[in-house]
Chains A and B, each alone.
Chain A
């Protein structure tokens, strides 16, 4: 066998071995669908060494995966529950569907619960929608007391149409949900870095690459925000550069299954 052929074979074997023996990233867990808000979200959780915990704080509902022995490294995916609950569509749909079987007290109570919030509007569009909904519900109450079921049904339909037509956008919600160190407990720990617009599962998203200064070491602090059918979500990574890839693999697996409760596109 010629000498150069032997050398080539050895080089090929070495390359094959290097490729084969390279550390491959652990595969993610099977995809799961979470119904934290009206719009469900599906994603593949990180591998088993990331311990799962429910996360229900700061107006969000979600899940956090904490790296075992990782010194505070974690990946989180959550929905903004309180923002989603501002939408009145579900309450109005329920009221309309159950109207005939409700007693007078139950009806008036449901009517009151279906009213939109007006004190702390997140945008001018939301404030205008809230006004239409509440004005329709005021008329509905008058028509209920005057015994005009036809007008009452029409009032409720008007309120539902207004509630369905309004879906908050990422631009409207972003000022309320993005990281603002001044709103955090220890503002000095956060360093705002690079911010950019991007997409996630085909939806417009906003990403920020910040730094969290912990007593032990600085950690990367990555956040991605996006809104689907009026429901806001975020994905957060807090950790070292070595595990950043796992975070991006989790966010790459995010999908949004269609759901009966989601408003039409």
Chain B
């Protein structure tokens, strides 16, 4: 026969259970942000602080910092999209924004091309816009077309050159080497994950992961901090990252840019 329960014990149990539930750590919150051309959702790991800087999202925990960055066009097609977007800005009467966007154009094809090829690519644009205030509209339109046509001379971007480009921009690779690389499917997106270390001693490990979303590069990287501390945060962020597939954001509809204009 079961023993009769003590009412005081029951009350204590209920309180303990309630307190346990109430004090349990809150579930990580899903955060949705726009990182340049990408719309992403992630779960902020416990203990990490999130700072939204638009194209650069920062995650800090003590001395450790991880960043999620839009590195811009990664393919030739995305370069063309970027130039077309700048062209649209110019046609909408935002000449300075358009010129700035062209000046900021960067991509693996451009960066890794021989210097003469780069010079040939930029020549029509620099010839036309040497004095931005004096240039006439017909010359600008022609220069835009010349830039778009010029992208065809660059070699197609390979996955190797994309890796080289991402590491070039996200860390000082003069003294580092790739320790491991891996392709991972995370929430339907194909990420390339790289672990880098000091070239000489294989100390100071770090991790970088990137993907090309509609030709635009999205990079998650450990900026600084001890690998043992930053590594788990990086893994938690990476495995929770959901990247919305879709056309790059239209800059013309960007309210911040419109306000600045």
Q: Are A56 and B200 in contact (CB under 8 A)?
A: yes
B201 interface residue, CB < 8 Å from A? yes
Contacting residues, chain B, for A35 (C-beta < 8 A): 177, 199
Picked from B117, B177, B202, the residue with its CB within 8 Å of the CB of A52 is B202
A106 to B119, CA, bound (A): 15
B20 interface residue, CB < 8 Å from A? no
Contacting residues, chain B, for A52 (C-beta < 8 A): 201-203
Q: Are B200 and A101 in contact (CB under 8 A)?
A: no
Q: Are A53 and B201 in contact (CB under 8 A)?
A: yes
Contacting residues, chain A, for B199 (C-beta < 8 A): 35-36
Among residues of A, the one whose C-beta sits closest to the C-beta of B199 is A35
Q: Are A61 and B115 in contact (CB under 8 A)?
A: no
B116 interface residue, CB < 8 Å from A? yes
B223 interface residue, CB < 8 Å from A? no
Q: Are A34 and B114 in contact (CB under 8 A)?
A: no
With most chain B CB atoms within 10 A of its CB, the pick from A32, A52, A54 is A54
Interface of B is mostly: loop
Q: Are A63 and B116 in contact (CB under 8 A)?
A: no
Picked from B114, B117, B200, B201, the residue with its CB within 8 Å of the CB of A98 is B114
Contacting residues, chain B, for A106 (C-beta < 8 A): 115
Interface of A is mostly: strand
Q: Are B115 and A63 in contact (CB under 8 A)?
A: no
A103 interface residue, CB < 8 Å from B? yes
A54 to B198, CA, bound (A): 9
Among residues of B, the one whose C-beta sits closest to the C-beta of A35 is B177
Q: Sort chain A's interface into a size bin.
A: 10 to 19
Inter-chain CB contacts under 8 Å: number: 32
Q: Are B177 and A54 in contact (CB under 8 A)?
A: no
Q: Are A101 and B201 in contact (CB under 8 A)?
A: no
Contacting residues, chain A, for B114 (C-beta < 8 A): 98, 101
Among residues of A, the one whose C-beta sits closest to the C-beta of B179 is A32
Q: How far is the CB of B200 from the nearest CB of chain A, in Å? A: 4
Chain B interface, number of residues (Cβ within 8 angstroms) = 11
Q: Are B115 and A54 in contact (CB under 8 A)?
A: no
- Known A-B contacts A35-B177, A54-B198; A101 and B115 likewise in contact (beta carbons under 8 Å): yes
Q: How far is the CB of B174 from the nearest CB of chain A, in Å? A: 13
- Known A-B contacts A35-B177, A54-B198; A101 and B116 likewise in contact (beta carbons under 8 Å): yes
A55 interface residue, CB < 8 Å from B? yes
A168 interface residue, CB < 8 Å from B? no
Q: How far is the CB of B259 from the nearest CB of chain A, in Å? A: 44
A87 interface residue, CB < 8 Å from B? no
Contacting residues, chain B, for A61 (C-beta < 8 A): 200
Contacting residues, chain A, for B202 (C-beta < 8 A): 32, 34, 52, 63
Q: Are A63 and B201 in contact (CB under 8 A)?
A: yes
Contacting residues, chain B, for A103 (C-beta < 8 A): 115-116
Picked from B116, B117, B200, the residue with its CB within 8 Å of the CB of A54 is B200
Give A49-72 interface residues, CB cut-off 8 Å to B. 52-56, 61-63
Q: How far is the CB of B116 from the nearest CB of chain A, in Å? A: 6
Contacting residues, chain B, for A55 (C-beta < 8 A): 200-201
A34 to B197, CA, bound (A): 11
Contacting residues, chain B, for A56 (C-beta < 8 A): 200
Give B48-69 interface residues, CB cut-off 8 Å to A. none
Q: How far is the CB of B35 from the nearest CB of chain A, in Å? A: 34
A35 to B198, CA, bound (A): 11
A54 to B114, CA, bound (A): 34
Contacting residues, chain B, for A36 (C-beta < 8 A): 199-200
A245 to B198, CA, bound (A): 28
Contacting residues, chain B, for A62 (C-beta < 8 A): 200
Could you mark each residue 172-186 of chain B with 1 if its beta carbon is under 8 Å from any beta carbon of chain A, else 0?
000001000000000
Contacting residues, chain B, for A63 (C-beta < 8 A): 200-202
Q: A55-B200, A55-B201, A62-B200 are in contact. List 12 more A-B contacts (CB 8 A).
A: A34-B200, A53-B201, A53-B203, A54-B201, A54-B203, A56-B200, A61-B200, A63-B200, A101-B115, A101-B116, A103-B116, A106-B115
Q: Which residues of A contact B (CB under 8 A)?
A: 32, 34-36, 52-56, 61-63, 98, 101, 103, 106
For the complex of A and B, the 7 pairs showing the least CB-CB separation, nearest first, are A54-B201, A101-B114, A54-B200, A63-B201, A32-B202, A101-B116, A52-B201
Some 15 contacts from A to B, beta carbons below 8 A apart, are A34-B200, A52-B201, A52-B203, A53-B201, A53-B203, A54-B198, A54-B200, A54-B201, A61-B200, A63-B200, A63-B201, A63-B202, A98-B114, A101-B116, A103-B115
